[in-house]
Structure formats: C-alpha cells, structure tokens
C-alpha cells in the first residue's frame, strides 16, 4: 500500500486502537481523534488526509453534523462513517451528505481494510485528475506566463523541489527566466516569508565578490570602512540565488564549496566562521559540464550543486507562449505608460510567430515596451532590433553591422583606428547582451575581466581628453 493518510474519529479508545493497528500494519499513516473538536483542530491546522473513518456517535457533537463539515473541506478526502446504529435512514442520510461508504459495528478487519483501500485509491485517482485539469488550464505561475508542455512540466518540477532543502542548478539561455524560476521555487516553499537574496556573480569584479557573498570586517582591506553582512548572512533562513555562477573565479569556488559543505560563513577579515541556514539555488547560461571539462569550473563543486538540475527552454521552443507573453507585456506596459488598452497589428503578430527571439523573454519584453513607448496605439507595430548572428560572419563585422541587417550595409570602418574598431565591437556586443558584460565577453571570446579593464582604460582616456572637465561641467 502507498502511504495514504487516514484520520480515525472514534471516542471508544479500544476500538480506535484496534482500527489504528490494523491500518498501520497495512501501510497507512494514521492519526486518532477521540472527539469532534479534536478532529476539527487537526483539519483546520491544514493536515491533509486521504480518508476519514468517522464514528457518528461522538460525545461532543452529532456525527452527521461533523460529516457535513468534512464534506465541505475537500472532495479529495473520502469519509467513511461507522456506527452501531445500522438503520437504513441513517445510511441514506450519511450518503446524501457525501459519505463514501457506511460501515456497521462491529467492523470486520477485512471489511475495514477493503473499504479504506478503495476509498484511498479513489481519492488518489481524483487527485491525479484534478492535477491534470489544473495543469491543462494553468498559463501563469509565480511570474511565468506560458501554457506550453515544456512550461507546464517546469511548473510541476518547481512545485516538486520547492519544499526540499536540496540545491537546485538552473540552466538556460540568457533571458529565458532563470531568476524568475529561482524566485518561483522560493515563493512555492516553506521559506517564502524569509529573504530571497540574488547575487550576479558575473556583474561583480572578482576582487569584491568574496566580500559580496560572505561579508567583511571593518578594515579587512582598503575601502572596508565598516562591517558588511554579505549575501549569505543576509539570506539567513531564506534563499541565496547565485546567478551566472560559471563566471566565478576558480579560487573563490573552493570557498563556496566549503560553505555548502559546512553551512558556515567566514567574512573577510573575521577570525572564526559563523553558521547560516540558507537554501542555495544557482544558475548559468553556459554548459556547466563543458566548463568542468575545460577546467574553468570545479567538478566537485558542480556535483555538490547539481543535486536537482532544472533546464529552462528557450522562447523559440515554446510555441504559442510567445504571443501569450507578448500580450501580457502589452497590457502591463500600456498601463504603465498611461495609454489605453491596445492590440498588435497583423504584421506584429507575424513577427511574433516568425522571429527566433535569440534574446528570449528579455528581448521580447524590450520589443513590446519599445512598441508601446514609440507608438500611440491602439494597434501597435513590433520592431525587432537586431537578429541572430550570420553563420561564419567575422566577429568585428557582426559587431559593426547595423541592427536588423543580415550582412549587407556594413558600417564603413575607413578612417577608424584599430582601438576605435575594438571599442565599436565591444559596445555593440554589450548592447546586444542588454548590458550583460559576461555574456558580451563570451560573444567576443574574451574573459569578463578583460572587458572590465578595457572599459576602465577607455573611460580614463575620455576623462583625460582635452575639454573633458568642461563637458562634465
């Protein structure tokens, strides 16, 4: 038998113990309440039962009144009434009030077990039917919009892992909603009322990331003018989300592994570690196994993190979800911009269906917002800026190519220095990555730290240029 849960409501202690022992030997999880009031307390507390064995002759209430209350709690809980009064009238009344079956005392063990087995199996079947119906109708889930089979499977997976303490490793392309998935896991579980702290490991310079994660003591390094809590301690009791984890320096990966294994955090400059209670969720848009194979990510850390892998499908694989999401964005942005409700014109709908959306939901969001801001409505066009890279096209030409072209009409590079061409390529790559420097670095085939250094050098050059101070003034 599966571990079905049964509540026995019986005031005769010897009978309650006999029923309980029979059912526990058969594999059931059993709770006993000797009065109607005790049963109500259990049910109101949120305890779920597949079946209730209810005595109709209780010391503090009429069993039929109790049955009427139980039938209103959940159609998935089957109520079996048991009484020494075997009158036909009582049986009919109990059935009309929703009783699954009616047993007359003394109840033979075989009869009790057969009835409970049928009732709990019926409850389980109804539960599966209800879940399938809910899944078929669900197109929103904790920030997600979508009813494609891939997304419904994702919703079920999130609900399954939400109550676990196990670490979740989310993979998926940039813009596919990895942080939304992490927040959905947090909000679906027992930590939902505690902090959710997100750290983008690719957006923080390597020298500062350890302090950002674990905190620091005053004077631990130049610029540490006060104590800092750190993300791990700020998330105590809740969830710590580490986004773009594969961007983390391999030396810091060792400290992260120690933190995951011990549950202890040692701030920079502290002499002793401190315990924290956090649920860790990680995400990356890279292939983590490839990163491990190429020596950029520790194998032991990967297997420590990837207890529950979760993959988000790209938008191009989600079928009609594209239009659902676009409609949701259109409704939201028209309200935010103070415009009356509108719709997409025919060309925009064709674009929604045909475009590959390499930037995923983030690209779609930007396209819809741009349409709302730049057009009066109510029929909104959709202008898709840029597109997928042309296979075999050189990186510099791809960076210089104006958005929306397919290779023809390259920007004229005549007269530009090599440094200026490099700046142009970097600027275009960052723009295509919606400001995400690690993603832009991957597109250009360099490390994020290289981009940070180049941008700092170019900024210093601009600041030192003649007239720089006057222009800032």
Write the CA distances from 395 to 375, 389, 398, 428, 430, integer angstroms. Answer: 34, 9, 5, 11, 13
Q: What is the pLDDT of residues 291-339, one digit of tens each?
A: 898 888 999 999 999 899 999 999 999 988 999 999 999 999 999 988 8
CA–CA gap between residue 114 and residue 126 (Å, rounded): 18
What kind and span of H or E run contains 234? helix 231-234
Q: What is the pLDDT of residue 186?
A: 94
Which pLDDT tens digit goes with each residue over 404-425?
Answer: 443 434 455 555 677 777 888 8
pLDDT digits (tens, 9 = 90+) for 35-78: 888 888 887 776 788 888 888 888 888 778 877 877 666 566 88
| Residue 367: closest CA among 325, 309, 412 | 325
The one-character DSSP state at 62 is: B
Please tell me whether residue 141 adopts helix, strand or coil conformation. Answer: strand
Answer whether 433's CB lies under 8 Å from 174's CB: yes
Instruction: Output the average pLDDT for the chain.
Output: 81
| 84, pLDDT greater than 90 | no
Which domains are present in the chain? 5-133 (3.40.50.2300), 145-311 (3.40.50.300), 318-380 (1.10.8.60), 395-401+408-472 (no CATH)
């Amino acid at each position: 038998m599966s571990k079905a849960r049964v509540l026995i409501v019986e005031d005769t202690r010897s009978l309650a113990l006999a029923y309980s022992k029979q059912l526990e030997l058969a594999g059931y999880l059993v709770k006993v309440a000797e009065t109607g009031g005790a049963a109500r307390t259990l049910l109101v507390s949120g305890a779920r039962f597949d079946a209730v064995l209810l005595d109709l002759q209780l010391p503090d209430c009429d069993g039929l009144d109790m049955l009427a209350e139980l039938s209103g709690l959940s159609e998935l809980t089957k109520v079996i009434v048991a009484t020494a009064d075997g009158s036909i009238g009582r049986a009919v009344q109990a059935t009309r009030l929703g009783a699954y079956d009616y047993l007359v005392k003394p109840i033979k063990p075989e009869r009790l077990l057969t009835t409970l087995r049928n009732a709990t199996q019926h409850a389980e079947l109804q539960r599966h039917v209800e879940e399938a119906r809910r899944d078929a109708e669900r197109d929103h889930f904790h920030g997600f919009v979508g009813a494609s089979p891939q997304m419904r499977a994702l919703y079920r997976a999130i609900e399954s892992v939400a109550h676990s303490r196990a670490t979740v490793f989310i993979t998926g392309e940039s813009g596919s909603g990895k942080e939304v998935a992490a927040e959905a896991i947090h909000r679906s579980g027992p930590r939902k009322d505690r902090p959710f702290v997100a750290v983008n490991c690719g957006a923080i310079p390597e020298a500062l990331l350890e302090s950002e994660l674990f905190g620091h003591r005053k004077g631990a390094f130049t610029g540490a003018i006060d104590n800092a809590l750190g993300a791990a301690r700020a998330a105590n009791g809740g969830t710590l989300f580490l986004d773009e984890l594969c961007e983390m320096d391999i030396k810091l990966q060792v400290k992260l592994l120690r933190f995951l294994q011990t549950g202890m955090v040692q701030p920079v400059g502290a002499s002793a570690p401190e315990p924290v209670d956090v649920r860790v969720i990680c995400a990356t848009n890279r292939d983590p196994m490839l990163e491990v194979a190429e020596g950029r990510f520790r194998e032991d850390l990967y297997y420590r993190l990837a207890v529950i892998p979760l993959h988000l499908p790209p938008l191009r694989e989600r079928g009609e979800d594209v239009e659902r999401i676009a409609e949701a964005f259109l409704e939201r942005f028209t309200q935010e911009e103070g415009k009356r409700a509108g719709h997409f014109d025919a060309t925009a709908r064709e674009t929604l269906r045909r475009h590959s959306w390499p930037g995923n939901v983030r690209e779609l969001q930007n396209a819809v917002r741009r349409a709302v801001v730049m057009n009066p409505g109510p029929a909104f066009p959709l202008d898709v800026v840029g597109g997928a890279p042309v296979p075999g096209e050189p990186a510099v030409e791809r960076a210089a190519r104006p958005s929306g072209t397919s290779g023809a009409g390259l920007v004229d590079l005549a007269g530009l220095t090599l440094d200026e061409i490099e700046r142009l390529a970097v600027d275009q790559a960052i723009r295509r990555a919606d400001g995400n420097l690690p993603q832009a670095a991957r597109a250009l085939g360099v490390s994020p730290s290289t981009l940070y250094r180049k941008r700092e050098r170019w900024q210093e050059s601009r600041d030192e240029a003649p007239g720089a101070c006057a222009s800032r003034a």
